[in-house]
Structures are given as structure tokens and as C-alpha cells.
Structure 1
Amino acid sequence: MKLVIFDFDGTLVDSRKLIVESNRVVFGQFGLALPSEDESLSLVGMSLELVLRRLAGADAPVEKMVATYRHVLPLLRVDPAYAEVPFCGAADLLAALAENNNVRLGIATAHVSHTIAPALERFGWQSYFCTVQTADKAPSKPHPGMLLQALSEADVKASDAIMVGDTAFDIEMARAACVRGVAVSWGYHRPDRLRGAGASRVVNDMSELRDCLFETISSASEQS
């Protein structure tokens, strides 16, 4: 049985507006210079604490900023102007995979448990995933902890798992866990950076990702 583990932001959902606006609000509250959009998005995938240390500097009140983000994000999520939006085809892909008896699904995200759960529920995706790994359960990507825990919870070997993500952090995490890393080009890191991180394949749209995953699942089923 294959385990397909998805990143969330930039892979399944477009969270660009949410990230940019939450930075504007929080950095403004603390009187800090707002980082550029490119700088902020380049760090998506890492845990919030590490991102803030890079964006705000070592002297910034990171713990207080994290607490403020935890308060701000739920408020922005209910505003249609900033809420995450599933990428076209993401919902159909997850539904098709969930119906396949030869595959199980997981999530590995930089969100913490109490922020990812409402998002999955809002999209009706919570029942799809047998394992949800978050930044409060394991070290930040690219550490392999999230994937190692997902493999253990799903009782699947690394050779029978695939990590799908949009950043080099996702792919580096996959390599560290000896899991195949498939990258998507529509997220926050450029294809050349994804290939440089060791992606086994970079797909350009949801249809290509679907073909890639089902071809791999079918091949594995035939071999078994």
C-alpha cells in the first residue's frame, strides 16, 4: 500500500494572500519593517518560529509574534479576501486517491495542529488523511521527523511512500527520510530550485500530478 504525503500551503491550497496579510498585520503590531513578499514566500514550509527569526532578526520578540499569528490567522481565514483557496483540481485529486484501496494519504505541514484542523474541515478533507504531521509534533522541515512519524503511524515503508511538495524544504525532508519527493511547480519555489533539492520529478499542473501518482500506485500494485 502506497502512502502519499502532501504539503499543504502552495501544494494543495493557495495561501499567498493569507501569508502576506498576516505578515503585514503582525509586523505592523510590533513596529517592525515588513519583509518583502518574495522573501516571505521563499521561507514557506519551515516552522513559523524559524521563519520569524530569519525575517525579523534575532532580537525580535519571536515568541510574542508567534502568539499573535495564532490569534490573527483564524480571523483572516474567515475573510474571503484572505482565506486559502484550493488549487484547481486539488479536491478532485484527493477524492480520487481516497477512493483507491491501494493508497493512503497524509499531510506534512508547517502549520500547528489547531490551525491545520479547521482548514481541512472547511474544505471537507479531514477524513482523507490517516496521518497529519505538524510543526508542534516534529522538528521543522527539512528535518525528516514529520515523514518518519507519518510512516510509522501509517505502517508503511519509506520505499512505499511519496512526498508531494512545492518547496525545497519538502524535497530535502523527503530525501532525508529516504522517501521519493515529487515537486509541483505552482507553489513558492522555482522548478530549478526544486530539481536542485533532489526532486525525482517536477509536475506543472494538477492533471500531471494525478497521472504521476496513479502511474506509481498502479506500478507498485502490479509488482506486489
Structure 2
Amino acid sequence: MTTDLLRLVIFDCDGTLVDSQHAIAHCMDHAFAEHGLDCPGLEKTRTIIGLSLPEAIARLARPAVLDASLIDAVTNSYKSAFFTLRQSPDFFEPLFPGVLEVIETLDQRGWLSGVATGKARRGLDAVLERNNLSRRFVTLQTCDNHPSKPHPSMLEAAMSETGTDPRNCAMIGDTTFDIEMGRAAGMLSIGVAWGYHERETLEKAGAHAVIDHFDQLPDVLDGLWHTARHPA
């Protein structure tokens, strides 16, 4: 198959594939409290999900905290809290409805699948293994080796690994960071309405479409790709 025919769809993880908001907010509050900082709470934490952890914590802590060493300490406390939480027998981070079926449909239609996430690789691997998704993605990009979203570095690496062209790629995510990252990489950007940023903010960020249910993705994606490649 030639490079021009290879098509790649790249998914965000938190808020797109899995509903992790409560676990993230719990660990964020724990980390902030451990260092005597005001806990951000769920609603505020939802706004930064998708960013790399140090960037997310820095945004939540401003303007009260500008000290880089404290940001690093809170970051380490968060990682420790999440590792402990993940070992709990009642840990719950469910897939959103339709994920497995849609990835299978996309595969049948000739789309390769990948992930680009603000999670660390250890956290992403845990999610994929727990949900039997480890073999479904041909490229996995995490914050360990890249700048935070919305910088396009993760998407550029995904395209380089798979030999794909941005004209044949799409980013799927629930936050403005995902949409802006996809646009910066020159690919289609599709928002999902079940995640952590509102539909209106996704549209204002430049989403080519926003879907309400996962099973809408294959047809919307194919339609946008075909229109982009074969304009009237």
C-alpha cells in the first residue's frame, strides 16, 4: 500500500476513550492538599485534562504558585496517588460506550488507529491492558517524549512512525487542546461531546465536526476525509 493510501485516526485517551475524570480529580486534590494548596475540585480539574501533568498542575496552581520546584513536587505527589489508586480493587476508569466496536469498524474500513495523550506511557499502557486494547493501536504517543498539547509534536511523531500524510489523518478528542493540536498538524480534527470540554468551545477551537455518540465517528470521518480529498 502506498503512503498516499494509508489513513490514520488518532485518539485522545482521557475523556475520549475512557472516563477518568473522577480518578484524576481525586488524585489532583490529594496532591494539592499534600502541599498545603487549595484543592482545585472536579469542575476546575476537568478544564485541564489532556495537558501534560506539569502544565496542568501549573495552570491549576496559578496565580498562587509560580515556583517550579513546588510544581514538580505536586506532580510527583499526583503520580504517586494515581499509582496507589490504580492498585485498588475497586478502581474504576471505564471505556465510553462503543469504543471497541468503532475501532473495529474503522479497522475494517482501512483506518489505522493510534493514541496521543497527556498521560504518561505507564498510565496509558495500564488503560490499554485493562481494556484489552493493547494490540489495537499502531502508534502510541505520550507526554513522556513530547511537549504538552496543543503542540503538534505527538501527531507529527505518529505520522512519521506510520508513514502517513496529514491529509489522510484525523485527531479525535474531547478538549480544545486536541482540536488545536490536530489543526496545528494539518489534519482533520473531530470533537466528541461526551468528554470534558463543551461542544461550543470545541467548535470555536476549529473542530471540523463534533459528534454526540461514538458510533457516529466512522461515517463522519469518512465523509470529512472524502470531502477534503475530493472537493466539489
Scaled by the length of structure 2, the TM-score of the pair is 0.88
- 1:175-194 aligned at under 5 Å gives the runs 175-194=183-202
**Paired residues for 1:29-178 under 5 Å:** 29-56=34-61, 57-59=65-67, 61-79=70-88, 81-98=90-107, 100=108, 102-178=110-186
Flag the 1:80–1:184 CA change in 2: closer, same or farther, 3 A: farther
Stretch deviating more after TM superposition (133-142 or 212-221): 212-221
Paired residue type of 1:79: S
Letter in 1 for 2:11: F
* Separation in 1, partners of 2:110, 2:217: 17
Q: For the Cα contact (< 8 Å) 1:171–1:182, is it kept in 2? A: yes
Distance 1:177 1:167 in 2: 16
Aligned partner of 2:3 in structure 1 is none
Q: Distance in 2 between matches of 1:177 and 1:218?
A: 19
Q: Which runs of 5+ in 2 are unaligned?
A: 1-5
Name the CA distance, whole Å, in 1 between partners of 2:204 and 2:169. Answer: 21
Question: Could you tell me how far 1:80 is from its partner in structure 2?
Answer: 5.8
SS at match of 1:128: coil
Report the CA distance between 1:123 and its aligned residue. 0.6
* Counterpart Cα distance in 2 of 1:161 and 1:95: 17
C-alpha distance in 2, partners of 1:72/1:81?
15
Structure 1 counterpart SS, 2:215 = helix
CA–CA separation in structure 1 for the residues paired with 2:218 and 2:184:
24
Instruction: Report deviation, 1:216.
Output: 5.3
Q: Is the 8 A contact 1:183 1:201 kept in 2?
A: yes
Deviation of 1:79 after TM superposition, in Å, equals 3.4
Q: TM (normalized to structure 1)?
A: 0.91
Q: 1:17 aligns with which of 15, 22, 25?
A: 22
Q: Which residue of 2 aligns with 1:4?
A: 9
How many pairs are equivalent? 222
Shift of 1:20: 1.4
| Alpha-carbon shift at residue 215 of structure 1 (Å) | 4.5
Identity %: 36
Task: Verify the 8 A CA contact 2:183 2:206 in the aligned structure 1.
Answer: yes
Q: What RMSD, in angstroms, separates the aligned Cα atoms of the two structures?
A: 2.1
CA deviation after TM superposition for structure 1 residue 213, in Å:
3.0
